[in-house]
Structure 1
Amino acid sequence: MRFGIDLGGTKIELIALDAAGRAVLRRRVATPQGDYEGTLAAIKALVTSAEAELAVAATLGFGTPGALSTATGRIKNANSTCLNDKPLKDNLEALLQREIRIANDANCFVLSEAADGAAAGSSVVFGMILGTGVGGGIVVNGQILEGANRIAGEWGHNPLPQPEAIDLPLPSCYCGRAGCVETYLSGPGLSADHARQTGTPLSAAEIVSLAEGGDGACAQATLERYERRLARSLAGVINLIDPDVIVLGGGLSNVARLYDNVPRLWHEWVFSDAVATKLVPPRHGDSSGVRGAAWLWPA
């Protein structure tokens, strides 16, 4: 039995997969906000309860924000800041009394979709999360590509390519830089762009609803800017790793128009006479991350 645990900013989710990859149990609890020790305790309680219910001792894979530093072995780059500079892997192994495997949550997402999801059977897959933040991951021949610094696929903190007049001034990012892809393409980034251009604060969901309902020219314009920025950013990914499939995740992956409009636009910046890369929604929805954490252990 394989357990996957997704350590999110608002919830901790556990899934149990059998040998065939079928989910046999799912549990979810709220993440103790800003409380590292409380987070460890919540994880232990989830695992202990699930193993008792299923009468198994499972392998454990964890998806987390950020990544393990190659220099210190501690978590770095997590937007759940209470995890940063903490020896999470060591603490969990001591607490749970076994080896665990841990990977960035975007890597877990793309591993799930490459294993038995929307990109199953593809050689090179790029997966990205368009949610509160923007993350990315790469799977090649069924294996996560982590990179020398364990930041492969972290395109959210690349600068937006070829900023246009409407993109200026470059928004500040929590990472200390300005003009990161994340500041434009995350849910909060979409909302902030709409407010800058219209003076009206709306959530990303409200903007999408207005545009799709044909009830807002301003909302429509905001989504058109978003699509153009996403197309430019993904063109850079295609030029660099030439993936067979790009899978979208996160709340904005539910915007159906992206799958038609963005591939139509990205031709302008892709260095090829034709683009065979497919842009697809996730098969497993918001379960992909936790499923991918379980897939860190082979069947």
Structure 2
Amino acid sequence: MLVAFKLWDFKKQIVTTKDGYILSLLRLPNGRSGAFSRPNKIPVLLQHGLLMAYWDWSWDELAANDLRASFDYVYQRTGNQTIHYVGHSLGTLIALATFSQHKLLSMVRSALCPIAYLNQITSLISKAAAQIFVAEDLYWLGLHKFDPNSKAVDKLLKTVCMDPEIDCYNMISAMTGPNCCLNSSSVEVFLDHEPQATSTKNMIHLAQMIRRGTITKYDYDDNDENMSHYGQISPPVYNMSKIPNDLPLFLSYGGQDKLSDDNDVSRLLNSLHFHDGDKMTVQYQDNYAHADFVMAVNAKRIVYDPLMAFFELH
């Protein structure tokens, strides 16, 4: 998508959430030729993953407020009551959470590297960071912005990387798994813009999921705080089985992905066991890891062409 911005004209759109925060959407209204898209074209909303979230929220707010505001804006802007949604990593989680709670059957959605359950991830660096409460320590120190380039985060990551079982020599592979199909130019573009910051609270929320194997709202680890936010002492569960059975889903995941692990994805698929067979396509790429789905040189043929074919059917 970063490369696309260099090739195509894009326009910045401003969206305000119901709780008053201002979001920026980047709209690509026309193709490389400069010709504007036909008015009856179905809009596609692309949602990035973890890094780039705001500083004081977890993904609960991204699902409840940000994503809903983006959907509503696209509806109003295009006049089209159908939207294709493509999320990567955390972008899939917030959509799954949204659709488990709200019936938006007019919308076609898809997912790449579906993130839902996380307790079986094989990313040792992510698992270790969760187990020693790295994000919680940062939050306790008053660092509500999780910046991978900051000295505080760098120091804690170096502590994690001292574990002899964790190879941090290639940080991308250590985090995402051995990506099969990246080239130097795509990695250079990525490193020109990433890694960006996210909310420390967001990292705490994901760490809770890794440790507990649950998909719930953010746990304040305080009965009074949870009661204040949720009306109960434990955070509410996101029930994936409540995703409407006739909502079209395209799920694509990789066998080398250390963040979207086979076993965790299988658990998600099991919760979707009763989904209408003609409404769900599951694609498995044995040699793909987490970053391949957005940067692989063969991703168009392997992933995006089948995805577009799925869109055409629905």
Normalised TM-score (structure 1): 0.31
Pick the structure with more strand per residue. 1
Normalised TM-score (structure 2): 0.30
